[in-house]
Amino acid sequence: MNGRQFIAKVRKWAKGWNLAVRFVASEGPGSHGTLYAGDRKTTVKDRKKEIGKGLLAKMLDDLEIDGDDI
């Protein structure tokens, strides 16, 4: 899954929990940005590149999302 797909899946997940989601591209170095889901946040690397399993697990943990929910 790449960054764009991850953001889309988080948006879909958050809709079920009535959480606001926003991505701020200017809040991060280079091609990174910050994804907010309610009061939780994580950094998303280049939205065009694939996300490795370890980084994906960390991002889900940052957002307090169970991997089975995405």
**Does residue 32 belong to any structural domain of this protein?**
yes
Structural domain containing residue 61: 3-65
Determine the pLDDT at residue 61: 97
Give helix then strand counts, H and E, for the chain.
2, 3
Q: How many domains does the chain have?
A: 1
Domain of 11: which CATH number?
Answer: 3.30.920
Residue-level pLDDT, tens digit, the chain, 70 residues: 999 999 999 999 999 999 999 999 999 888 899 999 999 999 999 899 999 999 999 999 999 999 988 8
What lies within 8 Å, CB to CB, of 11 at 6+ separation is: 21
- Residue among 27, 44, 24, 29 nearest 9 (CA): 44
**Does residue 70 belong to any structural domain of this protein?**
no
